[in-house]
Amino acid sequence: MTRTILAALLLASTAAAPALAKDRRAKPPEEPRAKNVILFIGDGMGISTITAARIYEAQKRGETGEENQLSFEKFPNVALVKTYNTNAQVPDSAGTATAMHSGVKTRIGVLGIGPEAEKGVCRDALAHPLPLLGEQVKARGLALGIVTTTRITHATPASVYSRSADRDWESDTSIPENQQGQGCKDIALQLAEAKFDVALGGGTAMFYGKKGGGRRADPAADLPAAWAAKNGGVVVRDAASLAAAPMDKPVFGLFNPSHLTFMADRKPDSPEPTLTDMTAQAIARLKGDKDGYYLMVEGGRIDHAHHAGQAGYALEEAVEFARAVQYAVDHTDPAETLIMVTADHSHVFTIAGYPKRGNDILGLMVPPAGGGEDGGDGETAPPALDGKPYTTLGYANGPGGLYKDDDDDGEHERPMPETGLRARQQALVPLGSETHGGEDVALFATGPGAERARGVIEQNVIYTIITKALGWEK
């Protein structure tokens, strides 16, 4: 009897095993899908810039600053991103932005073309095209928006919609004579021929001929008018016109002959929209598309300020960038919108010394009382070995560097450092323009698909995070 019972139990368990295995193989629940994706790119916004900007933002409110968080630092998912180009240890914006908008790393200085193509060679560019996220978005029926504080033909915004053998081919007059007539179009012409719903930035000169105050070869050239006629769109040239433009038509905004004005130099009555203004307009216009949208927003002048060695200008731009991110967070549905914030690359920007808690981030390095390597009184900036104080913020290279000309007589002394918003920080190596940095940058993410932003990733994986969140691939 016992043997019979045991045999029956054994047969039952054997029969149940396949069913249990089948249950274990059941498909996991589908991940939430994003209807919309917004990618914020702080051009040149390395981690040291984020740290300094959080302190600066809070100090403007009268706080010490170190405890502050910028809007995007509150996002739950964070990754480190490797930024190198295929032929460069320290990258530029064209190669890095192409990685994010094509899914493929490529050479320094090129847009939307593979690493097999030689920079500046039109035929190579035509032979090695990469996917463009902007084209894919429109082909799948989504709305497309591009917002930047730079020329809209500049490297980062151009990576959304253009392929170019050289990032500098922004206008037809920028293409070298020996590369003309081979089938390559300048970046401005590519945007004018592209499909988009919102494009806002600077760069008027790239789209008009001499009669319109531009630099195109045809004196009568008017690419925005041609775009508007073909697409039923509206061209605007100032913030008031942007706000008044019909919400049901594509809009093309050009607000400066070149880059938009730095926030630090902007007057209260400026006709130019801020980055937050443009972000607000883009979201309001794109959200009506039932199929969703992709929006790229670039805070591009963070980078330009760093190149000039002016940290205060860079931090003002970063604070405005964070404000634009917060607007997006407040005016989108977190259940259907993936928002990511990153940088294309870093800069050789440092926060140095042993400054006391709450020390003016744009001021001289003052250590806490009894702090630092040699102590301090918490009130005065101790001198360096040359007898002069130094600022907390500085650069490894750039326009603030010192050098001795051959005809200099005597000792070449370091001047007293400048402080404040408009200061040019001192640099170790004298260069006409400060350079990019090669370290990893941060990626912050929230919304459907944000959990893929983790660990240390290659920059082109950002494209994959976007396409998977939109449900284009598993």
pLDDT, tens only, 257-266: 999 999 999 9
Whole-angstrom Cα distance, residue 5 to residue 18? 21
Full domain range(s) for residue 292: 36-348+435-469
Q: Is residue 427 part of a domain?
A: no
Cβ count near 419 (within 10 Å) = 18
Between these two residues, 15 and 231, which has the higher pLDDT value? 231
Asked whether 174 and 223 are in contact (CB, 8 A), the reply is no
| Tens-digit pLDDT profile for residues 143-166 | 999 999 999 999 999 999 999 999
Tokens standing for residue 108: 């320094």
Q: Please check whether residue 104 is in contact with residue 114, taking contact to mean a CB–CB distance below 8 angstroms.
A: yes
Residue 404, pLDDT score: 76
Q: How far is CA 108 from CA 92, 94, 112, in A?
A: 6, 7, 11
Q: What's the pLDDT at 413? A: 82
pLDDT of residue 5: 46
Token pair listed for 134: 């902007």
Q: What is the pLDDT of residue 9?
A: 43
Would you say residue 416 lies in a domain? no
- Domain membership of residue 318 (yes or no) is yes
Q: Dihedral of the CA atoms 378, 384, 387, 388 (nearest 10)?
A: -70
The reported pLDDT for the residue numbered 466 is 98
DSSP state for residue 466 in the 8-state scheme: H
In a domain, 357, yes or no: no
Q: pLDDT for 277-322, tens place per residue?
A: 999 999 999 999 999 999 999 999 999 999 999 999 999 999 999 9
**Residue 225's CATH number:** 3.40.720.10
Cα separation, 21 vs 341, whole angstroms: 42
Q: What is the mean pLDDT of residues 139-145?
A: 98
- Contact call for residues 80 and 60 (beta carbons, < 8 A): no
Sign (positive/negative) of CA torsion 463, 464, 467, 469?
negative
Reported as a single tens digit per residue, the pLDDT across 325-368 is 999 999 999 999 999 999 999 999 999 999 999 999 999 999 99
242 pLDDT above the threshold of 90: yes
Would you put residue 103 in left (φ > 0), alpha (ψ -120 to 50) or beta?
left
Strand partners for 222:
208
CB atoms within 10 A of CB 371: 16
Query: Residue 69 falls within a domain, yes or no?
Result: yes
Confidence (pLDDT) at 32 = 84
Give 393: exposed, middle or buried? Use CB within 10 Å, 0-12, 13-18, 19+.
buried
What's the chain's average pLDDT?
Answer: 94
In a domain? residue 417: no
pLDDT surpasses 90 at 473? no
The answer to the question of residue 423 being in a domain is no
- pLDDT for 41 equals 99
Nearest one of 372, 373, 390 to 381, comparing CA atoms: 390
Which has more confidence, 370 or 46? 46
Residue 381: what pLDDT? 95
Q: Are 325 and 430 a contacting pair, CB within 8 Å?
A: no
pLDDT at 30: 72
* Confidence (pLDDT) at 18: 52
Is 174 in the active site?
A: no
pLDDT recorded at residue 25: 61
Domain count, the chain: 1
Query: One of 48, 71, 93, 162 is an active-site residue; which one?
Result: 93
CA distances from 231 to 44, 48, 197, 249 (A): 34, 43, 9, 9
pLDDT at 371: 78
Q: Is there a contact between 310 and 159 (Cβ–Cβ < 8 Å)?
A: no
**Contact yes or no for 323/413 (Cβ under 8 A):** no
Check pLDDT > 60 for residue 232. yes
**What is the percentage of the chain residues whose pLDDT exceeds 70?**
92
Q: Is residue 178 in a domain?
A: yes
